[in-house]
Chains A and B, each alone.
Chain A
Amino acid sequence: MPLYYTSIRDEHLHTRAKVGVFDLCHMARFLIRGQGFRDFLHWLTPSSIISVPSGKVLYSFLLNERGGVKDDITIYVGDQYALIVGNAANREKDFHWLVDHVSEFPTVQVWDVSGHVGMLAVQGPLSDSLMKSALGAAFQSCPYYTFVPMEAGVLPEYMQVEVTPNELFGNAPGLIYSATGYTGENGYEIYAPNEIVLSLWERLLAAANELEVKPIGLGARDSLRLEACMPLYGHELAEEITPLEAGLARFIDFTKTTDFVGRLELEQIRTQGVARKLVGLEMTQRGPIPRQGCCVKSGSGEEVGVVTSGGYAPSLDRNVALAYVSPSHSHVGDELDVVIRDRTWPVAIVKRPFYRRSG
């Protein structure tokens, strides 16, 4: 996936206005199957996996014993399997974590299928039209954070290619789509075996004339997620940061009656209160971009936090940032300073997300 195909700003605005296609084959994908796979994930993650209906996608985490985030993931929960999607940079780390912890569940298997199954995303207000155009009868729109396995019988002709028989998958389909994404727009993520994914990519882009679809690079993927205030691992999330500090407590199911990895620490932090909070900062005047590592100060010059992500927000035409700040300086409307290359610039804490789609 390149940083951009034409320009970050154009690709960003195009995704907000029309529809963009993203090559996400670099992401990590793991298949969890075998009897008891739900019990395994119910214990390993802070989500309720046992009770969730098949077909749901859950935003969740792999947590370390300190409640810190090893990775933020999506879990596709099926009858016979779960698909876990993680960050590319964490692929090996995640795989080892899964394998190390599965030993107590002898009937459960963990497979790294990143090299076998490709991943694309279709994002933007015209996503449904593009999906229909490329997938035909194999596509029906589905509710947010659910997924649909595509049935072989209704696949468009170009997708009916011989797929190398893959014992990894068994009855787990290699061809699914979900109403998920990382842009703040309506859209879908599609998983397809390697033999199919390239022709699918070409078919999606071939709709360029009728739907003005464009390929979107990594730069716009980052600016889109930043405007939507979706966390990025290595920035807002890390081994030393818990989901509670990141404002993601709603993805931790404290009502679970059983233990899960990291629970004890998280319960303690929840009782004591967090030492820092993630906030959205908006620059109040034209200025340089506050980037990761920039120091955040109070009006009196006291250091109160640090920027985790920052950038130019094309939809708002201003610079924004996410930062961890001390709870006493974390209220919407608070005015702070950010230090960029030895100069301080005024910023204000604003409501998150920076951008919310209309309708």
Chain B
Amino acid sequence: MALSEKRYAKTHEWAAREGELIVVGVSEFAVEQLNREIVFVELPPPGKVVSAGQSFGTVEAVKTAADLYAPVSGVVEEVNAQVLDDPNFLAQDPEGAGWLIKVRPNAHEEWNSLLSEQDYRDFLKQEGHH
């Protein structure tokens, strides 16, 4: 998958451009926080509208369930069926094979308000995670 630079939300989702679509996933950091023990992933079906900052699904780990927040608004074009079928794809490679959904964005300016990779790293440091 040829992806553009990644952008991040403070809620630990990432976004990357792929043609006209935006690929969305969760960060290595977030998956590490769940000790990579993910047992279930709940994602919206294609056609569903997601809104930036709003919950669009859930990642369920052994001990807790974490909401997923859409980094951009738009319509879900594709869902990673592999992850739904085997959450280990998310646990082992969250920023690659474990991507979650592809969204056709309807508000292009939202991309610009996301954090660059460096800003996200700085944000994690500020939060005292590293």
Contact = CB atoms under 8 A, between A and B. Distances in A.
Q: Do A and B come from one complex?
A: yes
Interface of A: 3-4, 7-9, 219, 223, 286-289, 291, 311-312, 319, 341
A7 B65 contact: no
B7 to A, nearest CB: 28
A288 B58 contact: yes
* From B36, B37, B42, B63, residue with most partner A Cβ within 10 Å: B63
B35 A312 contact: no
A291 B42 CA distance: 16
B40 A8 contact: no
Contacts of A7: 35-37
A289 B39 contact: yes
A7 B61 CA distance: 11
A312 B36 contact: no
A219 B37 CA distance: 11
B62 interface: yes
Contacts of B37: 7-9
Contacts of A4: 35
Contact of B60 (A3, A219, A223, A288): A288
Interface string B18-55: 00000000000000000111011010000000000000
B84 to A, nearest CB: 8
Contacts of A291: 65
Contacts of A223: 62
B40 A3 contact: no
A4 B37 CA distance: 11
B35 to A, nearest CB: 6
19 contacts: A3-B63, A4-B35, A7-B35, A7-B37, A8-B37, A8-B62, A8-B63, A219-B62, A288-B40, A288-B60, A289-B39, A289-B40, A289-B65, A291-B65, A311-B62, A312-B62, A319-B40, A341-B42, A341-B58
A311 B40 CA distance: 11
Interface in B58-99: 58, 60, 62-63, 65
B35 A286 contact: no
Contacts of B58: 288, 341
Given A4-B35, A7-B35, A8-B35, A287 B40 contact: yes
A213 B40 CA distance: 30
Nearest to A314: B62
Contacts of A287: 40
B36 A289 contact: no
A3 B36 CA distance: 14
B123 to A, nearest CB: 25
Contact of A288 (B35, B62, B65): B65
B64 to A, nearest CB: 9
A312 B34 CA distance: 14
Contacts of B40: 286-289, 319
A288 B63 contact: no
A286 B36 CA distance: 18
B35 A289 contact: no
A289 B62 CA distance: 8
A7 B63 CA distance: 11
B81 to A, nearest CB: 13
A9 B65 contact: no
Contacts of A311: 62
Contacts of B42: 288, 341
A317 to B, nearest CB: 9
A141 to B, nearest CB: 33
Closest 6 pairs (CB-CB, A-B): A312-B39, A8-B62, A288-B60, A288-B40, A312-B62, A289-B60
Contacts of B36: 7
A289 B41 CA distance: 11
Nearest to B38: A312
B62 to A, nearest CB: 5
* From B37, B39, B58, residue with most partner A Cβ within 10 Å: B39
A219 B65 contact: no
A219 B39 CA distance: 14
Contacts of B65: 288-289, 291, 341
A319 B42 CA distance: 15
A172 to B, nearest CB: 38
